[in-house]
Each structure stands twice: as C-alpha cells, then as structure tokens.
Amino acid sequence: MKVFELTLPRALQSNKFFEDILMKSPSKITRYLDAAAEECAGGKKKEKAWAVIARLTRRLADMERRSPNQWDSDRAEIVCLRAHLQIQTDQAGTAARYLFPLVSEGGPLYGHLKAINLCAKAAIRNGHPEDAVALLKELVREGGIFRRDPVLLNTYATGLTRNGRPSAAGRFLAACMKEQKEARDDRFILATYGNALMGDGRPEEAAAFLRNKIRKGTAFGKDPFLLIVCASALEAAKDFQGVIKFLYPNVREGGLLYANRRAIIAFASALAEEGEDEAVIEYLEPLLRDGGPASRIVSAHNMYAKALLRKGRALAAARHMGPLMNPGGLLSKDTESLEIYMEAKKNLAIAKPFESSSVCGL
C-alpha cells in the first residue's frame, strides 16, 4: 500500500485541511495511517511526508508555547502521527529521541499504548533494539499492564530478535500464545515467532509451524503476509523445491499473491537455485519493467541479469543493466551489479565484438 496515494485524502496537501480538520480532530487522520504500509516510497511521496512532518512540528511548537503542561488527546495524536511518518521517512532517530522522555515513567504519555509502541518501533528502526526491549520489558512481563496487548508483545519480540536474542523472543511468544487467544490469533505475532525460529537457526520448525497455521480451511489459510513468511522459512531451510511448490499456486494469475513483488522475487530466487532460468526471466521481467516498487530492488535486477547470462543472452543482460549502471543509477554503486555487467560485456566481446560496442555507451 502506498501511503500517500492510497490512504491519505488529497486535501492533506492544503493548509485549510490542516486548520479545519487535522488540528481540530487528528484522530480522523491517524485511522488512515494505522493501515499504511511499513515503508514509504521515495521521491515526491517522501517529500510530501516531510512537508506534513514540518507542519505537525510547527503545530506542536505552538501547543507547547500556549499550554506547555497540557497533554490532551489531540496533542498526543499529533505526536503519534508525526512519529509514524518519521519512522517511514528515515527519521526514526528523531522520533525516538522525542518520544522516549514522554513515554517513560513520569512522562506525560506514560501508559499511552500507541506512543509507547511507536517509540519502541522507532528505536528498532534506528538500530537500537536494546532500547525498545528496555522500554517494553516491564510492561509486557507476566502480570504487566500490557501483557495482553498483541501489538506491544510483537514489538517487544521483534526487539529481542533484532538485538540478537531470537531464542528469547521465541520463548516469550510461545508463552504468550499458550496463555492467551489474542496472541494465538494475531498474524503479526505468528510471523514474528516464525522469524524468531529462523533467527535461532530452526527454519524447518518455522516452516512447519507456519504451514500448520495457514493450512487450507484455517483462519489464516488465505493470509498473503503469512504465506510470504512461510516461503521465507522454506527458503532459509534451503528447501527450494518446497518454495516453488508452495508459492506456485499463489503467484500465478488469479492466485492470492499474483503481482505481489515479495512473493514473486522469493519464487524467482527458488527457481534460480533449481536452475529454472527461463522461468526466472518470465516472472521477473514484467515486475522490473513496470516502474513499480520492485524496479527499485537491486537484488531482483541482479537475479534477472544473471538468468539472462546463463541462458546465453549477454546482449539482453547488458542492455538491461547498462542504464542502471550510469552515475547516479540504481545499480551504480553495487559491486555485484558491476561484476554482472562486466561479465555480460566480456561475453559479448568474445562472441560478437560488434554487439559489444553497441552497449558500451549504455
């Protein structure tokens, strides 16, 4: 989901919208953002996010001047909205530094679930999962005030995994799922548990666990998110045939994951491992040429070009990689991409010198 294309009204760009709606009732806007994607697209969409953040910052400064000690629901919602956008636009460190004093014991937002969770997420995104773990540890311990909240349970376990403690994350979530139905029925907790098992070197267990949860007829039998995590577990277990058999019904036209870039790239990667280069080209070619988010994934371009090379199509590989290798191009600083491109040109020079010269300027 593209945050600014699909979830926010066009009026978000106007000053009148901010004065008449957002600043009077920010909760009306945060509901759009609650369902937004984890990542924010670059370019103009990111610039729009920065503009929104700047306006929210000015509004918070105005509130601070007028009533420094007053923390009503509107002010809290604006803080959360700004943090949400900051996390998605490479400003997680700024969000974490602002939120930590507010959500810590004695702060005005101590006990505010959304603010606490955003603070922990910002710390994780900023590369300090240990701070997130320290913040949430007492809140989610057995008997803690948020022990039954799946959102914080999941964020805490993610922090443990990112902090190099996947075994602890797995034990914690296993205990939570045993204790409470809310945890057993939360797709994100199931996925994080699978990731914790993978991080602990147990991908086969992760795949078995997730397959059991998403088997046909269950509540999660048609959950695209869990299907992709399960495929990742199979890939981590080096069961590439398993990945292909598992994903094929879902990535083909009409399947649950048809046109899903993560699923198709995972599928293509498994095909490449099994030497199915024609299929790799077939699935990746439309994905990389439609100008969508997948066209910004370096590894996908490399996988596609290598498949072309293995099929003896050096000219096609060079033509594909050439424009992306130009200064400032997507692949210009990637070592593997350069090696692939040079191999393509070398193969051309050996086989057909006149074709080699035709791609040198790409």
Find the domain containing 24 and state its range. 1-90
Residue 333: band (very low, low, confident or very high) from pLDDT cuts 50, 70, 90: very high
**Any domain includes 320:** no
pLDDT of residue 359: 52
| Mean pLDDT within 253-266 | 87
Which residue, chain included where needed, has tokens 């090379």? 309
**Any domain includes 243:** no
> In sequence order, what DSSP letters do the residues of 187-226 get, joined into one string?
HHHHHHHHHHHHHTT-HHHHHHHHHHHTSTTSTTTT-HHH
**C-alpha closest to that of 171 among 150, 214, 200, 209:** 200
**Any domain includes 15:** yes
Listed in sequence order, the residues at least 6 apart from 97 whose beta carbon sits closer than 8 Å to its beta carbon are none
Burial of 340 (0-12, 13-18, 19+ CB in 10 A): buried
**Any domain includes 343:** no
pLDDT at 93 over 80: yes
pLDDT of residue 25: 52
**How far is residue 306's CA from residue 236's CA, in Å, rounded to a whole number?**
21
Average pLDDT, the chain: 84
Residue 142: band (very low, low, confident or very high) from pLDDT cuts 50, 70, 90: confident
Each residue's pLDDT tens digit, 294-317 = 788 999 999 999 999 999 999 999
Each residue's pLDDT tens digit, 57-83 = 888 888 888 888 888 888 888 898 889
Which residue, chain included where needed, has tokens 């006990």? 111
**Any domain includes 351:** no
Q: List the structure tokens of 309.
A: 């090379």
Q: List the structure tokens of 81.
A: 């909205």
pLDDT of residue 167: 97
Single pTM value for the model: 0.77
Listed in sequence order, the residues at least 6 apart from 30 whose beta carbon sits closer than 8 Å to its beta carbon are 77, 80, 81, 84
Which residue, chain included where needed, has tokens 């105005």? 62
**Any domain includes 55:** yes
**Any domain includes 76:** yes
pLDDT at 354 over 80: no
pLDDT of residue 148: 85
Q: How many domains does the chain have?
A: 1
**Any domain includes 73:** yes
